[in-house]
Structure 1
Amino acid sequence: MPKMEKNRHAWWKEAVIYQVYPKSFYDSNNDGIGDIQGIIAKLPYLQELGITMIWVSPFYQSPMADNGYDIADYYAVNPDFGDMQDVENLIACAKEHGIQVMIDLVINHTSDEHPWFTQALAQPQSKYRDYYIFKPAINDAPPNNWRSIFGGSAWEKVAGEACYYLHTFHRKQPDLNWENPALREEIYAMITWWLEKGIAGFRVDAITFIKKDQDYGSLPADGIDGLVSIKWKSRNRPGIEVFLNELKERTFQRFGCVTVGEAPGVPLADYGQFIGPQGYFDMIFDFHAADIDVENGSEWFRRRDWTVKEFKQALFASQQAFIASGWGTTFIENHDQPRALSKLIRDPVFQNETGAKALAAMYFFMHGTPFIYQGQELGMKNFNRTRIEQFDDISSIDNYHRALTEGFTSAQALEFINQRSRDNSRTPFPWAKTINGGFNSGAQPWLEFTHRDFEINAEEQRHRSDSVFHFYQRLIQLRNLEYPEVLIYGNFSPLETHSDDIVAYARHTDNQRLISITNMSNTPLSYVIPVGEVLLNNYDSIDSNLKPYQTIIIKECVTNEQV
């Protein structure tokens, strides 16, 4: 499908994207690990929900140090998930269900088990040594004081040599050297190979880290470990535009694909460079609102007592930046975030279907392409683990030990991790109230379930008309089938409210105006409801006050002058 100009209608703007975490979606062969055949088996469910594209998290050959984001072979499928024929079948079967397939592209780093890296270690004089970033030791110590994203020094000593290699993330994820043209050619050939297989596009992982400051200098420490976050010297650094433009021109621009950049660290004022008419990507993920609960999006133990007003300001600021620059994404969950119901609704009384529907309608109709993360459409919540040994996620384990080092108690550290762990969204999907929640037929899953009662499950919600599942189904119908011109391409306008705890905005064209109103608090709030047709309401009635966590979508009766 040819790509449209960015300022016109485009198929990827009209998509509703569902993220599948294959390891936890559906285990078709009962080995405890979800797989590609499991995704194929559940395509009818996804079609029933109404989504039009799936983003499948990494299924490449990998030792799974970071659950597949450490790739050992870009051209092979991890046997736990199946084989390349399964992937080709997924693309074909998804198409039969009206669903396109987007995959993860991880090109900031590889696994340390990738042949390039193993040859770089075995043959220091080979071309592969320059595919990665090796620096000599300084006084028998690492080259600088950079801390990796997953904790500890960002440098790993090479056995038998007086040098280190750089890893922005885990030590088993050595960074690729984008300064090397030969390395870039290898990357472009791989991307082209996947696009020729018929995938619809890529979510591009950690892409703002590919350019490092070439002085490799130390900075003042920001923790008692004497280290400083690597992001200040390796995230969205000057010169990255050269790499990103070349990447686009050599690969994406040649195909009618969609690209979604994971772009932390990009100021709102610079969004035009990323998603403008000549931007590197079609869309990017913005984390200003998603990381509202942690200080500067940093370590999870640096908590913030955020307010709805701050959350709303972050949401609307991102919206305005997207609109001014090009096109954006709307999301409240993904594989790196905890469950929104537990994070954004702090009153446990409303961490229920009412709250789940409120969050859904609040975000879904904003300007941009909406993303739904698996289980979000059921209103899944965080778990509550009692021991650090129950966690699989390396970032969770790192943050736990960092919190202890910073002086917190083990109980406090565990509370931080329960709130923010990436494992919260990675637990096996509950398909039914049966053995292992229908995830498989009884084998021990690779990760503990969120809850073992499986009261929240897809089968029950599919058969109950007032469920969260059917609420999401209705959201998709409104956006894509009934009001696409206003809810996809219409203008976006924040609305003034008397209460800081109300999130309200309008989507409008020359002759239509739809209003989204959500009370993000646990108390009734005064709001003058516009006159019009109520298209959606998570309560049975509308009174003079908005009920706690009530959300309403109204098609307003307006004249052209009012629009």
Structure 2
Amino acid sequence: MDSPPKTHPWWKAAVAYQVYPRSFQDSNGDGIGDLPGLISRLDYLHTLGIDLLWITPVYASPQVDNGYDISDYQAIDPTFGTLADVDRLIAECHQRGIRLIMDLVINHCSAQHPWFKAARSARDNPYRDWFIWRDPVDGREPNNWASHFAPSAWTLDEATGQYYLHTFAREQPDLNWQHPPVRAALHAMIRWWLARGIDGFRLDAISYIDKAERRELDMAFLFEPVSDVYAHGMQPGRLKEILTRWQTGLHGRAWVGLGFNNHDQARVVSAFGDDSAEHRGASAKCFGTLLLTLQGTPFIYQGEELGMPNVAFEHIDDYQDLNTHHRYRQNMAKGWTPERALAEEHAFSRDNARTPMPWDASTHAGFTTGTPWLAVGPSFNTVNVATALADEGSVFHHYRQLIALRKQWPALVHGDFVRLDADDGPVFAYSRSFDDSRLLVVMNLGSAPASFSALPAGCELLLGNLPAGAASDKLLPWEARVYRFVD
């Protein structure tokens, strides 16, 4: 079995938590989460046990795409606070032993950024080459490339008669990474933030950026499980095969960031699990067990530790997400009924993950004293932080126990992975081994009872998500157990 180096990167042993600041905690009653609100909730994150915090963009932005259209990389949008608030956030995180990383959006910027304003002012402007321009072809777009948020990835700048490239919204022009001054300016900005005390970055849309081949990143996010569930629905056999392939293929060679949901994806308990009243808690704990017992840095998305489900807004106008409205229009153009098109968004809208964090059962879930920018999810009366903290059997406390277990057993961080089940059924069983310790993880990825081979002799139950018999070979729906081999 492989041993880690005597000193290994801190981020391998870290447990990360992602915050979408707009939806986390509002401090001034304007209905939008902000940095002072986030700072006021750091003790909650410290109680959970995380030691790495990732926040999505809070830079100056017109907010066309909720901050992923940046107009000034070295300023904070007044919606979220000030640079002084960032400095205080860094200090307060570090005081609690939490490192802070920020989203870095450098594939594109905002059309309101001074760079792009200068670039579109004239073809001979020095900033013109900072972006990607093409002449029309037969009076139309240069090619048939599609944008994520629009039918075409090209928009005509009528003043100069050329099209500019935007992989995302037309208000998000792509930067030209082949142009050395672009790289120099962005590198300088990155160094500026690091000098300010930021511990690192999550690189957004990195696959679109022109870059040298085979240059190493510290880790890459593993998105295949989510994309497969979106394409094929939750199939335990497919999920087990994907995770096994990555766990065995990367061991000792590379590292991944693990997560089953984020600000762009549906809630894990709804997309992967069972969000019915009967099984929501157990399935949320089951996927928490899976996340925190695999190799890779686990990323918990805000509210995941509560078992927050998707929302099902009654009308498309209740959704705020740009991509949701784009997909809805596309589906309506295909001839879908409004009911079918809306059901698609119930399942896949990014707003499923962006509803305000439910802190308690009060008005607007304790998120704001004003009107929230996006409606609070209807489950907040029962699925909220206050209720979870008061219930020792809650999803929150199970996540807390899992995090503590991961920190106690190096095998869950550095150990090798061996799959022990042999079919496409709902039971997923695997071992994690490191030095003299060996752990066994077994779970039922389904809403019906299941059986598995009898436990090997000498197994001691460390943690389970349901009060079932520790030695039983019968698993209740969504039951998950972690054992250690004593002998």
Q: Fold match, TM over 0.5?
A: yes
| Aligned match of 1:409 | 337
Q: What pairs with 1:32-43 in structure 2 (closer than 5 Å)?
A: 32-43=31-42
| Aligned match of 1:524 | 449
| Aligned match of 2:150 | 151
| Aligned match of 2:109 | 110
| Aligned match of 1:473 | 400
Larger mean CA deviation between 369-378 and 144-153 belongs to: 144-153
Cα distance in structure 1, aligned partners of 2:225 and 2:253: 18
**Contact preservation (8 Å) 2:234, 2:272:** no
Cα distance in structure 2, aligned partners of 1:377 and 1:8: 30
Q: How has the CA–CA distance of structure 1 residues 7 and 392 changed in structure 2, closer, same or farther, with 3 Å as cutoff?
A: farther
Cα distance in structure 2, aligned partners of 1:337 and 1:10: 28
- Listed as ranges, the gaps of 5+ residues in structure 1 are 212-239, 243-272, 274-278, 296-303, 559-563
Shift of 1:131: 0.4
Shift of 1:294: 3.0
Where 1:513 maps in the other structure, the secondary structure is strand
TM-score of the two chains, using structure 1 as the length reference:
0.83
Asked if residue 337 in structure 1 is aligned to residue 265 in structure 2, the reply is yes
Q: How has the CA–CA distance of structure 1 residues 496 and 418 changed in structure 2, closer, same or farther, with 3 Å as cutoff?
A: same
Number of positions where the alignment pairs a residue of Structure 1 with one of Structure 2: 480
Q: Name the structure, 1 or 2, with higher relative contact order (CA <8 Å, separation 6+).
A: 2
Shift of 1:154: 0.5
- Listed as ranges, the gaps of 5+ residues in structure 2 are none
Q: CA RMSD in A?
A: 1.7
Asked if residue 165 in structure 1 is aligned to residue 136 in structure 2, the reply is no
Asked if residue 241 in structure 1 is aligned to residue 166 in structure 2, the reply is no
- Counterpart of 1:394 (choices 317, 322, 336) is 322
Cα distance in structure 2, aligned partners of 1:54 and 1:393: 24
**Contact preservation (8 Å) 1:69, 1:106:** yes
| Aligned match of 1:550 | 479
Q: Deviations over 1:304-338 (max 9, x none)?
A: 34521011111222223332531112211111111
Shift of 1:472: 0.5
Q: How has the CA–CA distance of structure 1 residues 6 and 55 changed in structure 2, closer, same or farther, with 3 Å as cutoff?
A: farther
Q: How has the CA–CA distance of structure 1 residues 306 and 339 changed in structure 2, closer, same or farther, with 3 Å as cutoff?
A: closer
Shift of 1:399: 1.1
Q: How has the CA–CA distance of structure 1 residues 158 and 405 changed in structure 2, closer, same or farther, with 3 Å as cutoff?
A: same
Q: What pairs with 1:173-322 in structure 2 (closer than 5 Å)?
A: 173-211=172-210, 240-242=211-213, 273=214, 279-295=215-231, 304-322=232-250
Asked if residue 534 in structure 1 is aligned to residue 461 in structure 2, the reply is yes
Q: How has the CA–CA distance of structure 1 residues 288 and 345 changed in structure 2, closer, same or farther, with 3 Å as cutoff?
A: same
Shift of 1:465: 0.8
Cα distance in structure 2, aligned partners of 1:452 and 1:381: 8
Cα distance in structure 2, aligned partners of 1:169 and 1:324: 36
Cα distance in structure 2, aligned partners of 1:105 and 1:19: 14
Asked if residue 425 in structure 1 is aligned to residue 353 in structure 2, the reply is yes
Letter of the structure 2 residue corresponding to residue 336 of structure 1: D
Cα distance in structure 2, aligned partners of 1:118 and 1:379: 44
| Aligned match of 2:119 | 120
Where 1:411 maps in the other structure, the secondary structure is helix
Cα distance in structure 2, aligned partners of 1:347 and 1:411: 21
Q: How has the CA–CA distance of structure 1 residues 305 and 51 changed in structure 2, closer, same or farther, with 3 Å as cutoff?
A: closer
Where 2:341 maps in the other structure, the secondary structure is helix
Letter of the structure 1 residue corresponding to residue 336 of structure 2: F
TM-score of the two chains, using structure 2 as the length reference:
0.95
- Counterpart of 1:364 (choices 278, 287, 292) is 292
Letter of the structure 2 residue corresponding to residue 293 of structure 1: V
| Aligned match of 1:504 | 429
| Aligned match of 2:384 | 457
**Contact preservation (8 Å) 2:360, 2:380:** no
Q: Deviations over 1:65-94 (max 9, x none)?
A: 111011000000000000000000100011
Q: Deviations over 1:522-544 (max 9, x none)?
A: 11111123441111111112233
Cα distance in structure 2, aligned partners of 1:101 and 1:90: 9
| Aligned match of 1:270 | none
| Aligned match of 1:488 | 413
Cα distance in structure 1, aligned partners of 2:379 and 2:432: 41
